[in-house]
Structure 1
């Protein structure tokens, strides 16, 4: 085991920014009103299983279609770049539609809000640079945060307010943009060497 605090912190922040669970509070509250009940624990566990599964088998899936991790990381950098632009500029480029009344726990909360295309792409991008165990710790930390936010979403919205949520979203958008640039430059060099 090779636990590196810096890698864990960076991977945690990247995943936190991509998952953007704080920014999803209004969507979660709206779903909670429609579905009446959201199983926070179940949604968190399903999202964690999907993310860990993709972390381990995503590369094998890529090999089947003839893509290496560096190429996927460059593609991931573009996705992170656009997600960051969404967060900073307050525009909607690719938000998923809300799911049905009965499926709110699994869809859209577990997938795609938590374990969506952005976070799955990010996991493989992180795998190109960081140790596996550090990424798993980052996933666990984020799933714990997701669970807490799902459990306390109404109270969090009251505490942070619309402006608070917007400020957090902008800050993490800028961090995510910088990480996307770093991910792109480091992996594009690997493709040409």
Structure 2
């Protein structure tokens, strides 16, 4: 008995080796982000009585507040990266090996966030390097998606350009924080992170006004 043409074609069509299940890749990335945020919270501890007796209550609570501030910053930074990750992957129709490897390289730096957060007060440059690494591969991933999925045709030139520029701004800001952290204390160098929001708003306004 002859199989229907459609079934025969489906059986004979070779499976492309560069394709991966979209849902599995996205779910894996989401799980890594969730685990990293959980690990950040594990570092939060109240000062013990031994620490208070050894260094005094003021210094002990001062160190605790520094750790809490670092956690808050890292939580929102990691959350922003996750939001950007979702904005990129919602446009992906075909997942190939290049996208998977860029995602893995991004996650390599993401999983360093708990370690980098512990170092932020004494080694701010390490923290800035990790953020720069996440931003770099996030942007490379986004640029690949824009080209591969032809987002300029699907979304329009302005929206595609805005997607790229909004991914580039964190990379530039975090990169600038590296040399800045060599000369000023980390708590002051971290203030440069706040530039991401006004720069993103300015870029959106100018790109949409010019139509790309």
Q: Which has the higher contact order (CA 8 A, sep 6+)?
A: 1
Given the two structures, how large is their TM-score scaled by the length of structure 1?
0.31
User: Radius of gyration: which is bigger?
Assistant: 2
